[in-house]
Chains A and B, each alone.
Chain A
Amino acid sequence: MLDRRRTLKLLAGGAIATTGMMFIPADPVIADIRRQGKKRLAMVIDLGRCNGCKACVVSCGIENGNLPDEHRTQVPQHSVDLNGKQYVFNLPLLCNNCDKPSCVSVCPTGATFKREQDGIVVVDSQLCIGCNYCIQACPYDGVRFTHSATGTVDKCNFCIQRTSRGLLPACVETCTGGARVFGDINDPESEVSRLIRQHRPLVLQAGKQTSPNVFYIGLTQDESNRANSINSPQTWQR
């Protein structure tokens, strides 16, 4: 969704690119717009603090009216091999509300779009026809799903109904380990900005080029490259 001013800027970028016979990506223009005071909401998850209690999964389901088997966020347990011994860690998963979301451009009705004011990727359930094209296009398996009670696609939108009023997303509010931190990356004073500066956290599957806005402290490079699914079977049960 482009407004007139932004479209003109992008077109100007394209014109310069054509004249100079070189490719100028739209990113700097978008980054420039962001510098003009727009928010970029993001979440930092500290894996060292996640105890796998799943309070976030429950509160998210209640807040957003999801059915018991359909999750906007889930905390699958993953096993890792360290010095020949197996360990388990909890990996909270949700839609990354990416900066370059691959789900947006494919949507044939414009139901999925990225909000300019805060960067959240939303699905307008009044417009969604349920073609599942966005589900196919998202490289993060299971973060988009069909909500059985509406027949349309659903996903995490950082609890837009709460965050638009300055409240925290339900999962962040209820996180018992304090593992989930939420805020505006464009605000250098925010907690998320500080954590990102301090820990240089990784995102999941950076190679898919969607520029996720969910960052993980404590994730190794190898683990970050794995294709995890919200629907992974729970192999480690207490």
Chain B
Amino acid sequence: MSEVHWGLLVAAYLFLAGAGAGALFISGALVLSEKVAHAHHWSTAKFSAIAGLLLLMLGTGMIVFDLTSFQYGIFNGDMSKLLRFYRLFMTFEPSSMMSIGTWLLTLAIIFALLFCFSFKRHDQETFTSRGYALINLILAVCVASYTALLIGDIKHNIVWSNSILVVIFLVSAISSGAAVVLIVKTWLKQSDPHHHFAKADSMVMLIELFVLGIFVYVIANVSKFYGLDNLLGMATSAGKIWWLGAVVVGLLLPLLLNLTSIMGRVGVSHAKEYGIAALTLVGAFCLRYSVLLAGQSY
């Protein structure tokens, strides 16, 4: 494979859908765990759900921007081509993972919208949206898995068809969702004096590091088997983005910042929290971008 047909926009699609699903997952979990009885958790759940919804909508927009018919329509002023993307949402082809995923995303957006409205309709005490929370939780897991299955369905691709990518994208969706929730919490001026959030966040990052390690090992072996240079080696652009962006910026640095706060028993400043969240999100994007590039580089 020499040409890159899926680049930044598809990476943004996978990233935004994953982060949105992660934020909705955490919001749903907060509601189901009844932590929303506390005012600050209620606000966190509410604004995280809104952020998750917006990210899902933005992500869906990215796949539309990536369609060559849409781009042709824009550059040539051809309205019929510009609007042709509606076919993606109006056709259901059960054999196509992209078709399944588009319907799944549409469903997730509708239920996320209902979930957000339920926060508006009920005040904190009479909050009864457990049903919506559960549906959102399930749809979030499906959407996050779909982002891996979309590329995993390309069976002859030795990078994308690796089944551990489903686990990686799922864990990464939770950690980027946690980053979105952290931004929400910081924006709401909520502090984390006992480092509950930082500890949970660090645990997810450690799990992610572990699964990334397995993936790196497998890809190194597969590359060797096919007589190729390591597809995630530092000599390739995919490898550089993977190691510097996904691993160092997205995992090691935020983990270090979290651990210094937890071990130093000092409160995390809001600036630091914003920093951790931003690094995690950049890393999650780089993870998907590097996987996309590695799968198209041999």
Contacts and interface: CB of A to CB of B under 8 A. Distances in A.
B125 interface: no
A132 interface: yes
A108 B5 CA distance: 17
Interface residues of A, number: 28
A109 B2 contact: no
B157 A136 contact: yes
Contact of B91 (A109, A136, A139, A153): A109
A127 to B, nearest CB: 6
B6 A136 contact: yes
B192 interface: no
Contact of B2 (A110, A127, A146, A231): A231
A129 B88 contact: yes
Interface string B99-121: 10010000000000000000000
Contacts of B2: 141-142, 229, 231
A106 B96 contact: yes
A214 to B, nearest CB: 17
B88 A108 contact: yes
A159 to B, nearest CB: 24
Contact of A108 (B102, B154, B155, B296): B102
Contact of B85 (A102, A127, A129, A231): A129
A195 interface: no
Contacts of B91: 108-110
Interface string B149-170: 0010111110000000000000
A229 B298 CA distance: 11
A136 B73 CA distance: 23
B84 A129 contact: yes
Contact of A131 (B1, B72, B76, B88): B88
A105 B95 contact: yes
Contacts of B98: 106, 108, 131, 133
Nearest to B298: A227
Given A127-B87, A141-B2, A151-B81, A133 B73 contact: no
Interface in A112-168: 127-133, 135-137, 139, 141-142, 146, 150-153
Contacts of A135: 5
Q: Report which residue of A110, A131, A132 has the largest number of chain B beta carbons within 10 angstroms of its beta carbon.
A: A131
Interface stretch (B19-27, B63-71, B202-210, B260-268): B63-71
B123 interface: no
A130 B5 contact: no
Interface residues of B, number: 36
Contact of B72 (A102, A150, A229): A150
B96 A130 contact: no
Given A135-B5, A136-B6, A130 B88 contact: no
B97 interface: yes
Nearest to B81: A151
Contacts of A141: 1-3
A208 interface: yes
A3 B86 CA distance: 26
Given A131-B88, A150-B72, A106 B97 contact: yes
Contacts of B71: 130, 151
B5 A132 contact: yes
Nearest to A233: B2
A127 B63 CA distance: 17
Given A130-B68, A208-B156, A109 B87 contact: yes
B96 A151 contact: no
Contacts of B72: 130, 150-152
A164 to B, nearest CB: 25
Nearest to B85: A129
A10 interface: no
A107 interface: yes
Contacts of B5: 132, 135-136
B69 A133 contact: no
Contacts of B296: 136
B69 A129 contact: yes
A137 B154 contact: yes
Interface of A: 102, 105-110, 127-133, 135-137, 139, 141-142, 146, 150-153, 208, 229, 231
**What 7 pairs across the A-B complex have the smallest Cβ distances?**
A151-B72, A130-B68, A108-B99, A105-B95, A130-B69, A108-B98, A108-B96
Given A110-B93, A136-B5, A151-B73, 7 more contacts: A106-B95, A107-B93, A109-B88, A109-B93, A133-B96, A136-B154, A231-B3
30 contacts: A106-B95, A106-B97, A108-B91, A108-B96, A108-B99, A109-B91, A109-B93, A110-B93, A127-B87, A129-B87, A130-B67, A131-B63, A131-B66, A131-B88, A131-B98, A132-B68, A135-B5, A136-B151, A137-B154, A139-B156, A141-B3, A142-B3, A150-B72, A151-B68, A151-B69, A151-B72, A151-B76, A151-B78, A229-B2, A231-B2
